[in-house]
Amino acid sequence: MKKIKIFLASSKELQSEREHFEREIYRKCKAWFDRGIFLHLDIWEDLSARMSLTDSQSEYNQYVKAADLFVLLVHSKVCMYTAEEFDTAFGQFQSTKKPFIFTYFKTPNGAVTDASLAEFHHKLRDLHHFYSPFNDENDLWVQFNKELDRLETDGFTEFKHEDMNQTGRSITQGDKSIYIEKAGDGTTINIQ
């Protein structure tokens, strides 16, 4: 049985989406049981609240580092703990190419947003990472379920280093497409 560890990070404001995500992961786990895949979801509500020798967030960050997939949900703010979990996941990703990182932003629909949201948008833009917007818990699951299916097809393996001498490579993330073409001495990147 192959165990795939997923860490779901978000603030409490997305509790309904988190609960729906947890139910859907359990259903997917049952569906994939005969394929020998077990999806193990870690969420902060399930982790111990006992006193730590360091601090509680440091304990949570150990789960982030051990994850195969890191999923971040954001709505009107990015609290300091959620930001720290993202930074931990990204640092681990840079070192080991895992966890795979997915960021989902709930469409505000008139909600008052905190300055931390704009800061985090800038951070992702500086990292050249496209986040995926979602409207509700069902939309979120449809998008992430597609990602799970893609990863399962690839065996949940690390990134494949493709030969950049090939021409015309397309990558799709959410509703964004990137077309990379290496020609002569330069690389052309078109984002659509």
Q: Where are the domains of the chain?
A: 2-161, 162-192
CA dihedral 19, 23, 26, 30 (to 10 degrees): 180
Which structure tokens are listed for 27?
Answer: 């259903």
Rounded Cα–Cα distance for residues 174 and 162 (Å):
21
Q: What is the pLDDT of residue 22?
A: 95
Rounded Cα–Cα distance for residues 125 and 20 (Å):
28
Rounded Cα–Cα distance for residues 192 and 178 (Å):
6
Q: What is the pLDDT of residue 177?
A: 43
Answer yes or no: pTM beyond 0.85. Answer: no
3-state secondary structure (DSSP) of residue 182: strand
Return the minimum-mean-pLDDT range out of 36-40, 47-51, 100-104: 47-51
The DSSP-derived string for 17-61 is HHHHHHHHHHHHHHHHGGGTEEEEEEEGGGS--S--SS-HHHHHH
Q: What is the pLDDT of residue 108?
A: 80
Quick one: fold of 2-161? Answer: Rossmann fold (3.40.50)
